[in-house]
Amino acid sequence: MLKGSPQGNLGKVNYKKIKLPKPAFKKHLLFQVDCIYLPSGCKNSLYYNLILSAYRNYFIYYLMNFKKNLAFIAFSIIICSSCKNTIDIQAPYKDITVVYGLMDQNDPIHYIRINKAFEGSGNAYTMAKQYDSIYYPVTAINAVLQDSDPVNDVVVKTIPLDTTTTVPLGPGTFLYPKQLLYYTKATLNPNDYYNLIVTNAKTGKKIHGSTAMLQDIAFTQPTNMANRNQAFDLGSDPYPSSVEWNSTTSAVIYQMVLQFYYHSRVGNGPAVPQTPLQLVFATQTAPSNLGGYQMLYSISCQQLFELITSSLQPAVNVTRHADSLSITFTTGTDDFNTYIQLSQPSTGINQSVPSYSDVVNGVGLYTARHVQTYYKPIDNSTIDSIQGTSQEPQFARLGFSSQ
C-alpha cells in the first residue's frame, strides 16, 4: 500500500479500497501500485476506468522501454531500417512554354523569343548554360503570326516565323552568346491585330497571344516635330518649351528621351562622333487605352546644359563640337505597362514580386510597343550658349568650339 492512502471515513465521503491487477513482469517495475481508493459505489465509474487505464498504460510503457526486452529491440530495428530520411521535392516535369515578343511596325525585323522552362536535380545555373535545357528543337515548334482585321473580324493572312541564331545574347545567367529566335521581315499593318500561335509538334499543345499595333503620335506642340530641317526650340527657364500630344488608341504608357549628338577631335586629328548623351524623362500613363487624353512634357535648355556638364570632363588637347538633337518617343500597351510596373523592385518589407503573363497556355509577354524618333537641329540660342559668341564658361572648359 502507498503511504498517505486514505483510511476509513474522510469527512462525509466513504472511500473504498480497490485492488488492482498484478503485472506479470513485476520484477522489472520501479514501483508497483497495489490498490487505489475511490468513493464507495464507483468501481464501474469513469474515475475507476481512467485510473486503471493510466496504471496499465504506465506498465506497458515501462515494459516496452526495458532495455532487455528483445521484442522491443527487434521492433525498433525493423522500424528504423524501413525509414526513409530523404524527401523528393522535385515535381514531375511539366512542359511550360515561355514567350517574349514586342511588336512594332517600324522595326525592319520582328523577333520573338520562344523557349521552355526547365527543371532538374542538378545545379540550376549549370542547366541554364545548356542549349537543350532552354530551347526546343527547331522541328518541335511551329510558330505563325495571324494578321487580323479588327473591323471585319477576319484573318487577312498567316505569316510563318523562321528561326535564327545570328543575333547574339549578352552575358548573363543563361547560355550566351548563342540564342534561338523566331522572326519575320513581313511589313505589319499598324491598323490590325496580330495573333501569335505557337504549336508544339510533339505534344500538340498550342500557346497563343494577341496584340493591337500602336499608332504614331500626332504632336500638337511643336507642330513641326516631323520636319528635320527645323530646329527644336528648347526654351529657357522660367519659360520652358513643351512637347504636347493626345494619347493614341491602345497605348497607355509613354516616355520621351532627348539625345545630344556631338563629336570630338584630338589636336588636328579627324572628328570622331561620340556616344550621344541621353536625357531620359519619367514615364507618363494615360487614364485608359481609349485615346484622346491631352499629355505633355516640359523641357528647357538648362536641362540640356546640366546633362552636358555632368556627363563630360575637360580633356587636354581635345576640342568638342555640338551637332544635333533627337527626340525619341516610346509608347506601350496596357499589358506592357502592367508588366513594367510589376517588375519594379519592392520598396516594402515584402520583397516578393508578383509575376505577370498575357500568354495563353504558357507564360511571358506578347504585346506591342512603338518607337518614333525625330532628328532636329539645335536652336540658335542654345548652340550659341554652348559654342558660339555667347559661350558660357563651363562649355569653354569642356573644349566646345564652333570650329
Q: Is 97 exposed, middle or buried (0-12, 13-18, 19+ CB in 10 A)?
A: buried
Q: How many helices (H) and strands (E) does the chain have?
A: 8, 21
Tell me what percent of the residues of the chain surpass a pLDDT of 90: 65
Q: Which whole number is the average pLDDT over 387-391?
A: 93
Task: Give the whole-angstrom CA distance, residue 192 versus residue 346.
Answer: 36
pLDDT of 16 reads 52
Q: pLDDT digits over 243-283, tens only?
A: 999 999 999 999 999 999 999 999 999 999 999 999 999 99
Q: Does residue 305 have a pLDDT over 70?
A: yes
Query: What separation, in Å, do the N-terminal and C-terminal C-alpha atoms of the chain show?
Result: 119
pLDDT of 244 reads 97
pLDDT of 89 reads 56
> Does an H or E element contain 266, and which?
strand 253-266
Q: pLDDT digits over 33-58, tens only?
A: 455 444 454 444 444 444 444 444 44
pLDDT of 393 reads 95
Rg of the chain over all Cα atoms, to the nearest angstrom: 40
Q: Supply the pTM of this predicted model.
A: 0.74
DSSP H helices, 65-88, are 70-82
Q: 249, 258, 272: which is closest to 225 by C-alpha?
A: 258
Q: Sorting pLDDT into bands at 50, 70 and 90, what band is 67?
A: very low
Highest mean pLDDT among 1-5, 61-65, 82-86, 170-174: 170-174
Q: Which whole number is the average pLDDT over 387-395?
A: 94
Listed range (90-94, 103-107, 375-379) with the worst mean pLDDT: 90-94
Task: Give the whole-angstrom CA distance, residue 322 versus residue 320.
Answer: 7
**CATH architecture, range 97-212:** Sandwich (2.60)
Domain ranges of the chain: 12-82, 97-212, 219-332+369-397
Q: How many CB atoms lie within 10 A of CB 11?
A: 6
pLDDT of 6 reads 43
Q: pLDDT digits over 79-100, tens only?
A: 444 555 555 555 667 889 999 9
